Amino acid sequence: MIEDFKGDESWRLFRILAEFTEGIDALSNLGFAVSIFGSARIKPDNPYYAKTVELANKLSKEGFSVITGGGPGIMEAGNKGAKGEQGKSVGLNIVLPQEQSPNPYQNITLNYRYFFARKVMFVKHSMGYVCMPGGFGTLDEFFEALTLVQTNKIYPMPIVLFGTKFWQGLLSWIEDQPLQEKLISPEDMKLMHLTDDVDEVVEIMNKHRIYKKEKIAATKQ
């Protein structure tokens, strides 16, 4: 039994490596990309769905690729908006027993068995995150990116929280508890951008793209 377990674990390593390899190969020419996160449970008649379509559409017009988790809800809206402009509409799908079914608006599709491999692809290939209203999965992506930027483990990128009514309570708690208890620094609060304005999000991403291009050019001199 122990030998069988070791054998299973060894083959699992190959499956994990395959997911990393496939993702890096498929997304290597993606260019500047923005990841959009949000709930799979949000329906097309929800205002946030329409805002996500609009946002992805405008980002695509500006030349950004759009990455989502590939499922329904906000993810579908993001892919729909990007594909409508014939842009690169990426879906990083996760195999789940419920809720996750790939939406039809992806023109680059990858399927993942492991959450952590999928999350690496989001971070590696994104130059900005937009978090629409969502549940635990959205919170997970938000806090992981926030932690990686705060600890300088990844290149700084804008992390936008879209929906003041939805996110303000969380930010108020962060200010009232971790910040007041000096568990985080005042500068950490500047790592997050809260807005209800689609055009502001696009402006944030455009400014960061210019900044990143300048940094890349400087390293080549």
Domain ranges of the chain: 2-219
132 and 50 in contact (C-beta within 8 Å)? no
Distance CA 118, CA 88 (A): 18
pLDDT (tens place) for every residue of the chain, 221 residues total? 444 555 578 888 999 999 999 999 999 999 999 999 999 999 999 999 999 999 999 999 999 999 999 999 999 999 999 998 788 999 999 987 765 678 999 999 999 999 999 999 999 999 999 999 999 999 999 999 999 999 999 999 999 999 999 999 999 999 999 999 999 999 999 999 999 999 999 999 999 999 998 888 888 77
In the block, tokens 């609009």 appear at: 54
Percentage helix, strand, coil for the chain under 3-state DSSP, each rounded to 5? 55, 15, 30
Distance CA 109, CA 32 (A): 17
Helices and strands (DSSP H and E) totals, the chain = 7, 7
For the domain spanning 2-219, the CATH number is 3.40.50.450
The residues with which 43 forms a beta bridge, in sequence order, are none
